[in-house]
Each structure stands twice: as C-alpha cells, then as structure tokens.
Chain A
Amino acid sequence: MAYVAVKGGERAIDNAHAWLAEDRRGDPAVPELSLAQIQEQLGRSVDRVMAEGSLYDPHLAALAVKQAQGDIIEAAFLLRAYRTTLPRFGYATPADTAAMQIRRRISAVYKDLPGGQVLGPTYDYTHRLLDFMLAAEGKPPAPAPLAEATEPTMPRVSDILRGEDLIEGDGEPNPAQEPGDLTREPLAFPASRDVRLQALARGDEGFLLAMGYSTQRGYGGNHPFVGEIRVGEVSVEIVPPELGFAIDIGDVTLTECQMVNQFKGSKTKPPQFTRGYGLVFGHAERKAMGMALVDRAMRHDEFAEEPNAPAQNVEFVLYHSDNIEGTGFVEHLKLPHYVDFQSELETIRRMRREAEANSAAMKEAAE
C-alpha cells in the first residue's frame, strides 16, 4: 500500500515541477531573461544572493536568481548547495580595504576627511518617486560625468581618528591564531569575534536590519554614528604553495561599514569611542550597517555592559541569522508529517477519553 502512495506522489511531483518550469518562464511571447541581463541590471539582487549564499560568483548568482524566479533566499540556498560540489583550494590573504578602488566613500562624522566625501552611484538623495521613464524602454542614459581623480585610494576613517587615540583601535592580530571557519566546524559557544563576523557576513539582511534597528531603538543601544561606509573593488590575493609567492586572482566588490559608537573607559584607560564593523560581498550598505550595529552590540563583554537586549544575545542572534538554516527548518513543516500527526491524534483522543471518564466519575461521586 505504502508503495502505491509513493508512486502516485512521484507523478504529481513531476507534473508540479513541469508546471513550475512553465510558470518560471512566464508568457513565452515575452522575451526570455538572459543571465547577462540579470547580472547587469539586477545587480543588487545578485549581490545579496552572493552575500547570503556566501559564494562570490556573479554569473552563478544570476543563474540562481533566474532559477528561483527572483526569490532571493531560494537563490542563496541554490548557491550554498552548489558550493558543496567544489573543492577548497585554500584561503586568501585578508583583503586590504584601505587599498580599495573607491566608488563610494562617505563619513557622517568627519566632513572634510582626507580623500573627501565621494557619493558614488547611490540611492541616497533620490526622492523615491517611481520613475516612469524606466517603464518606457528608451535610450540608454547619458554617460556619467567624469572629473580628474587625484586620490585613487583613501585612508580608512578609523585610521585617521586613531591618530588622536580618541577611538578604539583594531587590536593586534594574533598571528598564531587561525580564524574559525563555519564551513568546516559548526557554530559553538562562546563564539569569538572572528566566527561572529563570518556568521554576520553571510546572515540574512532583513534579520540584521531588524536587529541593528532594535539597538537604535534602545535595545542594547550604543548611540552609533557612521564613521565611514566605503564601496568598491578589492583585489584578492593568494599564495599558492607551488609558487611560494602571492598572486592576484581577481577583484571583488565589497561594502565596508565602520560604525563609531559612544565611549567607554576604565580606571586605567581614558574614554574612547568604541566601534562596530561590517564587511559584505557586493554593494550592500544596509546590510553592512546592520552587521556593524550588531557586531558592536555583541561585544558587550569587552566593555562590561549588561547583556539584556536581543541583539546582545550572541547565541540568539547567531542561531537565527542564517536564512538557509531558517528556511530549511521552517519550510520542512510543509513536508508530510502524517505519521507524527497520527500519533498526536491518538494521544489527544486518549486524553479526551480520560477527561470525559474523570468528569463522569466526579459527577457520579457528587450525586
């Protein structure tokens, strides 16, 4: 009997997937989307899929967006699944964001910083009015204006403010300590900052936005300022053992956020601004800011702060920031639970029978 039911399910599943393929394509009279169109014209979706899928490959991310009909979490899931088919060649040298080819670099705390405020291709200062010119497919836009570039790279604001010792430094890296890797070892607690940053970098943007927002609304807040946001291209360098020297293997677009938060001091140290850090694949300012706010909130133990807000709860945040894990566990509820539910039914029927018998017995005793 069970076997017959499986066969029936199989055909239904095949037919459902056939309809899905047709539905994905939509009206065949409308031209099909190419991966190049997605990559070029839906860049922020591609960026988000790469960040949450934790795999930098714009072409594959565009394919995932197409396959998932624009469902970003489903697309990120597809990338995560794909990466398990590839061997790991090694680790890159840590990216030098100070050497970034800047497209955008702003500071909300320091107006006349060396290198200046560079707005780049931003939605800030747009009026958020629908542009019906885009609905009418027209001519390509006029080329962006050019100006003479004087400073190809710019110092990070944290390094500039560091000069007066007013702001907390980056800390001395410990060369002996290998950073934790969530793709190799499962999350364990207490989680050190390197593991927390890796988890946040691939965390869900909506979740990090909400958690960061909660710190601003008073749940573990530290009065943040945007010290700096920078967006641009960073070269990736590896040292292949067969060569024994470093080589560039390409460029990736990264967004970095330096959040500057209110001061902390101690008996031995004068007060300093503290910091939260965000670094994300692609052009993703909202996520980099959310990440930096949450990073700072989770550092409560370094500053002897009472951890009583959700964003300061490291376990809660890290266990729920990954949307691939979240979607897997929530959506598995859709799968057949017939046997589980059958046993629950038996239990509740028995409980009700017992309750009825008890009340009947009580009634009899009362009479």
Chain B
Amino acid sequence: MPTPAPETAARQRWMSVLARASADTIAAQLEGAPALPPSTVLRGPESGLVMMRGRAGGGGSPFNLGEMSVTRCTVRNAQGFVGHAYVQGRDQRQARLAAELDAALQDPAHHAALEAAVIAPLAAAQQEARDEAAAKAAATRVQFFTMATMRTS
C-alpha cells in the first residue's frame, strides 16, 4: 500500500477544479490523457445535502442559510490510491470521474500527465470565465466625474 503524502494544498486545488467541471468537460479532457487505472467504488456515487451557512452581519455568529445538493463518491484504484469527491449538484458521473482522478493524481506515476491533460486546462477555462465576469462587472463600475469639484470645500 503506497502512502504518498502530496501537498494538501495541491490536492485541494485539483479537487476544487473537478468540483466545478461537468462530467462532459472532464470526460472530454480525459480523451487526450493516458487511460485512468481501473478502480473499484468504495462508496457511492450518492447524492445528498450540505447545509450552507452564513454569518450574522457578514462576519458574526453563524446561521444556517439553506441546503444545497451534493454528490459524493469514493474509489480505490488498482495502485491502491483512495480518491474522494464531493461535488455540487446531482451528477453521479461527475463525482465518479472526480474520485477516480483524485486517486490517480495522488500517484506520482500519473500525476504530471493528468495535471497537464485534465486539471490545468479545466482550471484555465474556469479562470477565464471568472475573468470575463469580473471584466463585465468592471465595465458597469460608476465613474463619478463631478467628484473633484464637489470635494473642494
């Protein structure tokens, strides 16, 4: 049983990228990647609920805001790596693919190829979408041209 200890931060990053990618987009990236090792499902994929929380006033005591649908899956691959996935929504195929990738990405033998073929392009596409939304928001930012004269007093 291999016990690799990948940086938690790196694992958090790829899990966050996979949680935001649909099954179809993950599958499309996998077409250009080496085949994932076979794996057996330990749990799920199963859909359930996570209770989201806010804070009174934005930064005060927590309160329960409402639930969201979440799907989770756990697999063990042929090399013995255990992969987990928790993804928003009810797409069981996405959760299964994300768990298989989480397992394979922990394996130094597969990590670099999968990072380059799957995670990096998905992360870039997600960043591009965020940048576009930020650019649209920036275009609606109000410019107060009269401010300089109003401030003279």
A residues with a Cβ closer than 8 A to B are 50-51, 54-57, 59-60, 83, 86-95, 97-98, 101-104, 111-112, 116-121, 144-150, 152, 156, 158-159, 169-174, 177, 179-183, 193-195, 197-198, 201-202, 232-233, 235-236, 238, 240, 242-243, 245-252, 254, 256, 258, 275, 277, 279, 281
Selected contact of B47 from candidates A86, A111, A177, CB within 8 Å: A86
CB distance from A253 to the nearest CB of B (A): 11
* Interface 1/0 per residue, B46-72 and A, CB below 8 Å: 111111111111111111111111101
Q: Is B8 an interface residue (CB 8 A)?
A: yes
Residues from chain A with Cβ under 8 Å of B65 in the complex:
95, 197-198, 201, 279, 281
Measured CB to CB, the residues of B under 8 A from A are: 8, 12, 15-16, 19-20, 46-70, 72, 74, 84, 86-90, 130-142, 144, 147
Can you list 27 A-B contacts (CB < 8 A)? Answer: A55-B69, A60-B90, A83-B49, A86-B49, A87-B48, A92-B51, A92-B53, A98-B59, A101-B130, A101-B134, A118-B142, A120-B137, A120-B140, A145-B139, A146-B138, A149-B135, A152-B130, A156-B59, A170-B55, A179-B62, A180-B64, A242-B84, A247-B16, A249-B70, A252-B68, A275-B57, A281-B66
Contact B20 A198 (CB under 8 A): no
Distance to closest chain B CB from A65 (angstroms): 16
Q: Are B20 and A181 in contact (CB under 8 A)?
A: no
B134→A152 contact, CB < 8 A: yes
User: Does B49 lie within 8 Å of A194, measured CB to CB?
Assistant: no
Our pick among B12, B46, B68 for the contact of A248 (Cβ within 8 Å) is B12
Q: Which one of A51, A156, A172, A243 lies within 8 Å of B66 (CB-CB)?
A: A51
Say whether B66 contacts A56, CB under 8 Å: yes
A159 to B60, CA, bound (A): 12
Residues in B whose Cβ lies below 8 Å from that of A238: 50, 70, 86
A54/B66 in contact, CB under 8 A: yes
> Which of chain A's residues have a CB closer than 8 A to the CB of B89?
57, 59, 250
Option from B63, B69, B72, B137 in Cβ contact (under 8 Å) with A194: B63
Contact between A174 and B136, CB atoms less than 8 A apart: no
- Please report the C-alpha to C-alpha distance between residue A194 and residue B142 in the assembled complex, in whole angstroms: 35
Are A246 and B12 interface neighbours, CB within 8 A? yes
Q: Which residue of A lies closest to B143 (CB)?
A: A116
A149 pairs with B68, CB closer than 8 A: no
Contact partners of A279 in chain B: CB under 8 A: 54, 65
User: Contact partner of A197 among B54, B70, B139, CB < 8 A?
Assistant: B54
Most chain B beta-carbon contacts within 10 A, residue among A89, A195, A233, A256: A89
Q: Which of A183, A194, A245 contacts B61 (CB 8 A)?
A: A194
Residues of A within 8 A of B56 (CB): 170-171, 193-194, 197, 277
